Amino acid sequence: MPVEETLTVAVRVKPGASRARVGGRFDGPHGPALVIAVNAPAVDGRATEAARRALAAALGVRPSAVSLRAGAASRDKLFHVERATGEVADAFRRLRDGSDA
């Protein structure tokens, strides 16, 4: 049985993007962050919610397992991923650092 833990993920959100995508690295205030571009505007938390859902989909976890920890009004956010396995952590690093190839 895989070991599960809470994973803290630094994210840089790009709201109002013409194309939604998850991948890339941004060196932000929380350290190396995963870039998430979303179509939703930065109004009333819509971009944050879209980023939360996109992160969950990219990591292969349920949206309910991903929660915002810090950065509600910022492009730089910290999310917690509950019940994350080593595979989830590896997927995050591949998306952030581009080591898929």
Q: Which domains are assigned to the chain?
A: 5-97 (3.30.1200.10)
Which are the contacts of 75, defined by CB distance < 8 A and separation ≥ 6?
Answer: 12, 13, 14, 15, 42
Distance between CA 21 and CA 19 in Å, rounded?
A: 6
Model confidence pLDDT, tens digit, residues 11-29: 999 999 999 999 999 999 9
On the question of pLDDT at 2 being above 90, the answer is no
Beta strand residue intervals within the chain, DSSP E: 5-14, 21-28, 31-37, 66-70, 76-84
pLDDT in tens, 51-101: 999 999 999 999 999 999 999 999 999 999 998 889 999 999 999 998 643
